[in-house]
Amino acid sequence: MPLDGRWGRRDFLVATGIGALGVGLAGCGTGDAARPVTGADASVAAREERRRKTGAGHKVIDLVAGPYAFDLAGRVVETFAYGATVPGPEIRLRAGDELEVRFRNDLKTATTIHWHGLAIRNDMDGVPTMTQAPIKPGDAFTYRFIVPDPGTHWFHPHMGLDLDRGLYAALIVEDPAEPSDYDEDTVVMLDDWLDGIDGASPERTFSALRSGGGMSHDMAGMSSMSGSMSSMSDQGDVDYPLHLLNGRPPSDPSTIRVAPRGRTRLRIVNAGSDTLYRVAIGGHSLTVTHLDGFPIEPVIADAVVLGMGERVDVVVQASSGVWPIVAVAEGKNGAAVGFVRTTDSDATPPPSVGGRLAEHDKRVFSNADARATEAAALSRAKPDRQVTRALTGGMADYTWGIDGRTFGDHRPIDIREGERLRLVLRNDTTMVHPMHLHGHTFGLSGDRGARKDTVLIPPSKSVSLDLNADNPGQWMLHCHNTYHLEAGMATELRYVN
């Protein structure tokens, strides 16, 4: 099934409450007459009611997605954006609040919004055909759900290759109860950019990847792509012409102003499509405090690496001056660049930045260093069941999948509410994949392993994820490389009755 939402009969199937996927695949899972739980199921509404807290707030936001002429340091490209800005307008609310987003699609193509990292009600999860009909051009849709957990999250479309455009924004859930160990906080959004540069587009990039070796220099409009696919590393397939920090290219960097010696929480989000970023700040160490929104026991590091979809929060105490914050593209050329400037250093000219900083190669944070805080840790009870899935595919025909199958032909992972599952993801490919699960967070292995929703699976390695089945519905499990997802590297965690 294409993920770009070509829409036909499934429209009808979803509208009648019969999960389109469930129909085609009944009997492939547990083998008995298991009935998939869809968004219309009473258990989804019941779960939502258990999230409701008395006295919680209700936040209403109007949001529009539309075409946008994006000015990249004087070079204007035609792209798509939320609220005519890249990144889109940040949404902030408090844990327990209900969010109501009155969304209108002014694009010429259908879209949906996925609220990445939030364990919300299934019918608001924004996956076309799985949880809702795509929102057609000119149509409106109201997303309404309770936001259960604090943390650094974000939102983006879940249609085709649109995530490799300007459609992304931060969704910050503040914790009214959190002991504040910082004075101010700010979001740092990283993104790899090609849309509109020398005629490039996500669709042309995908077809070049698909046609195998197609990323050649003589291909019209691809002249800015240095390096052929075969010379790319196992960390990315596309050599992007630009990397953006808070929507700005290195030639026109954004500046984060902070109080000298004040403690600033940087909420770093990798909104890229095919790039891992290694982030460091010149002359400073970082205190890593949260992964994918959930707190860990603080770890001091000099650099952090984020896969696509991942978030890392760090606290920095800036010395007086102007300091480069640099996100180098792992295994590629180029970097996203910004500056941290203390308010007493307005007259100081920014240093010239040559790319990689010494800090990038000092203490690099690893998930293995992380322990969830006692309050955030998931139960350490033994899982009821273990399921292993293999990540498969390669560059030859650019087919990426799970267990050799692409999405639409996938075998769902069936689960019952209340179960505790250990999911082992084994990477049988030569490339790293950031695997993301919707609607849940999982615990990494180890005593109080970090709690996350997206995790990098290195080539030839396995990662095991423990999760509690506490959010009924149909949920995507997929690679957060936009091009791998489009190629089919996705399956489904499917609650059944």
For ligand C2O, the binding residues (CB under 6 A) are: 114, 116, 156, 158, 309, 436, 438, 476, 478, 480
Joined together, the tokens standing for residue 175 give 């914790």
DSSP class of residue 252?
Answer: S
- Considering Cα of 257, then 79, then 108, then 8, what sign does the dihedral take? negative
Size of the site for Cu ion (CB under 5 A): 4
Q: How far is the CB of 234 from ligand C2O (least distance, A)?
A: 22
Q: How far is the CB of 485 from ligand C2O (least distance, A)?
A: 7
Q: How far is the CB of 438 from ligand C2O (least distance, A)?
A: 6
For residue 202, what are the contacts with CB-CB under 8 A and spacing of at least 6?
A: 160, 161, 162, 164, 165, 194, 195, 273, 482
C-beta separation of 318 from 261 below 8 A? yes
The entry of ligand C2O, Cu ion, none near residue 481 (CB within 5 to 8 angstroms by kind) is Cu ion
The contact pattern for Cu ion, residues 428-457, with x = CB under 5 A and - = no contact, is -----x------------------------
The entry of Cu ion, ligand C2O, none near residue 116 (CB within 5 to 8 angstroms by kind) is ligand C2O
Q: How far is the CB of 278 from Cu ion (least distance, A)?
A: 18
The entry of ligand C2O, Cu ion, none near residue 451 (CB within 5 to 8 angstroms by kind) is none
3-state SS class at 406: coil
C-beta separation of 306 from 268 below 8 A? yes
Nearer to ligand C2O, 158 or 290 (CB): 158
Any contact of residue 422 with Cu ion (CB under 5 A)? no
- Considering Cα of 118, then 172, then 289, then 256, what sign does the dihedral take? positive
Nearer to ligand C2O, 158 or 452 (CB): 158
Nearer to ligand C2O, 156 or 165 (CB): 156
Q: Give residues 459-488 in contact with Cu ion (rule: CB under 5 A).
A: 479, 481, 484
Nearer to ligand C2O, 187 or 303 (CB): 187
The entry of Cu ion, ligand C2O, none near residue 248 (CB within 5 to 8 angstroms by kind) is none
Nearer to Cu ion, 54 or 230 (CB): 230
The entry of Cu ion, ligand C2O, none near residue 311 (CB within 5 to 8 angstroms by kind) is none
The entry of Cu ion, ligand C2O, none near residue 309 (CB within 5 to 8 angstroms by kind) is ligand C2O
Q: Which residue is nearest to ligand C2O (CB)?
A: 116
Joined together, the tokens standing for residue 285 give 């160490």
Closest of 256, 362, 267 to residue 318, by C-alpha: 256
The entry of ligand C2O, Cu ion, none near residue 484 (CB within 5 to 8 angstroms by kind) is Cu ion
Q: How far is the CB of 154 from ligand C2O (least distance, A)?
A: 7
SS3 content of the chain, % helix, strand, coil (to 5): 10, 40, 45
The entry of Cu ion, ligand C2O, none near residue 36 (CB within 5 to 8 angstroms by kind) is none
Joined together, the tokens standing for residue 262 give 């004040």
Across the strands, what pairs with 437?
477
Bond before 87 cis per omega within 30 degrees: yes
Nearer to ligand C2O, 341 or 452 (CB): 452
Tokens 């609040």, located at residue: 97
DSSP class of residue 84?
Answer: T
What whole-number distance in Å separates Cα of residue 230 and Cα of residue 208? Answer: 13
The tally of CA atoms less than 13 A away on the side-chain side of residue 99 is 26
